[in-house]
Amino acid sequence: MSKMTMTQKIIAAHAGLEEVHAGELVLAQADMVLGNDITAPIAIQEFEKIGGGKVFDRDKISLVMDHFTPNKDIKAANQCKACREFARDKGIKNYFDCGEAGVEHALLPEKGLVTAGDLVIGADSHTCTYGALGAFSTGVGSTDMAFGMATGKVWLKVPSAIKIRLTGVPGKWVSGKDVILHIIGTIGVDGALYKSMEFCGEGLKALSVGDRLCMANMAVEAGAKNGIFETDRKTLEFLQDAGARDPKTCTADPDAEYDQAIDIDLSGIAPTVAFPHLPENTRTFDQIGDVRIDQVVIGSCTNGRLEDMKAAAEILKGKKVAEGVRLIVIPATQKIYLQAMEAGFIKTFIEAGAVVSTPTCGPCLGGYMGILAKGERAVATTNRNFVGRMGDPGSEVYLASPQVAAASAVTGKISHPREVMPV
């Protein structure tokens, strides 16, 4: 009997092996190779150095122009142009440009381009998002992407794993963002270094697919190679609705070896905020105090999905953004934008005094569309709060859920949603 984790089973299946063990180096076949307008240009240069020619499979490469688009400056425009020409030249089917593009890790699940049991590599660290759907997916660099586009393959060191057993039901103002921030606060930004984080347990039932995408997305902020969730009825419905290929679901072997097991009772988690300048600097509201803010960003691959828009809109409905605070809302894809408009969320945001932007990664990484000045503070539903992440090295980013971000926009300070909502 094998003793493999979920991750190890998927890697073994893609390496043509019966069994793999932690620490082993394998060459695996990828089902999808992903890049964006920042990482793909270097990959394309490297691809040309090994002779150019055909890509391994034009259906299994995704190029998403999302970071600095619509092009923020001439250099960004040139980078997108290089991607566009490469995609056209190689006949790459899943090329997404302005009008179709969205934040990559929201877009690929929505388009049904990832399914359970897949092995996905992406030249973007948040590629780990798709673990929410029962895939093994991990971030790599541009050279790996070039090699992947040429051969369909990637070298991988088989990871050991941390098992995270979830129980209970989260409270009213608690989302997947609070759960993952709590976990990172507990184990630290290198607490899962080189490892898988495998989420299981009856608590999963209380988490939406959106919550799980948010949690898997931030596995990398604990240093993890990937985060992966056991699949259930919700996963399968999501995949079917998205038109994804037939899922290959798997569970860990009963006696799979884990480095560590962590038990989390979801009912014990409170709204959580990560203070500057590391995602592990988490605090709950009994430790936060009066923190005045200048800007709020609601969006990104972490929290730019429709349910995030809905959560923010429910809090902002009929209210105004505090004087002196700038609220920027960014639906992660065109489809989400349209659905948010049809549901009236966009109207709510604009009436509250927010600006609503076309899908882009923009402000999350300090690219454009919401850069902070020296000394300014932002509450953001994004994933990183490193020094200078959203602008000036003297600015600060506080990571939170859409509920906390929306409430903070109303009060002008970091606020628990109950401060602005009737009980």
Please identify, using beta-carbon distances, which residue of 193 and 338 lies nearer to another protein: 193
Q: How far apart are the first and last CA of the chain?
A: 52
Nearer to another protein, 98 or 365 (CB): 365
Task: List residues binding another protein (CB under 8 A).
Answer: 27, 38-39, 41-42, 45-46, 49-51, 67-68, 72-73, 75-76, 79, 122-125, 127, 139-144, 146-147, 151, 153, 155, 189-190, 193-194, 220, 223, 225, 278, 365-367, 384, 386-389, 393
Is residue 352 within 8 Å of 379, Cβ to Cβ? Answer: no
Shortest spacing between CB 386 and another protein, in angstroms: 4
* 152/170 with CB nearer another protein: 152
Q: Smallest distance from the beta carbon of 226 to another protein, in angstroms? A: 10
* DSSP code, position 312: H
Residue 127, classed as helix, strand or coil, is helix
Crossing angle (nearest 10°) for helices 334-342 and 345-352: 80
Tell me the closest approach of the beta carbon of residue 201 to another protein, in angstroms. Answer: 26
How much is the CA Rg of the chain, to the nearest whole Å?
Answer: 20
The amino acid sitting at 145 is: M
CB proximity list for 145: less than 8 A, separation 6 or greater: 33, 34, 35, 39, 40, 43, 121, 122, 123
CA 127 to chain centre: 7
Rounded to an integer, what distance in angstroms lies between the CA atom of residue 166 and that of residue 366?
Answer: 34
Cβ 213 to another protein shortest distance, Å: 18
Q: Which is nearer to another protein, 15 or 269 (CB)?
A: 15
Nearer to another protein, 148 or 271 (CB): 148
> Which residue from 288, 159, 294, 282 is spatially nearest to 218, judged by alpha carbons?
282
Given the complex with another protein, which of 17 and 236 has the nearer CB atom? 17
Name which of 7 and 403 has its Cβ closer to another protein.
Answer: 7
Q: Do β-strands 226-229 and 94-96 pair in parallel, antiparallel, or remain unpaired? A: unpaired
Q: How far is the CB of 77 from another protein (least distance, A)?
A: 9
> Which of helix, strand or coil describes residue 369?
coil
Cα gap 262→258, rounded to integer Å: 10
CB of 148 to another protein, least distance (A): 11
Q: Rank residues 116 and 145 by Cβ distance to another protein and give the closer one.
A: 145
Beta pairing, strands 226-229 & 196-200: parallel
Dihedral (Cα; 176, 295, 76, 124), 10-degree rounding: -20
- How near is the Cβ of 83 to another protein at its closest, in Å? 12
Q: How far is the CB of 147 from another protein (least distance, A)?
A: 7
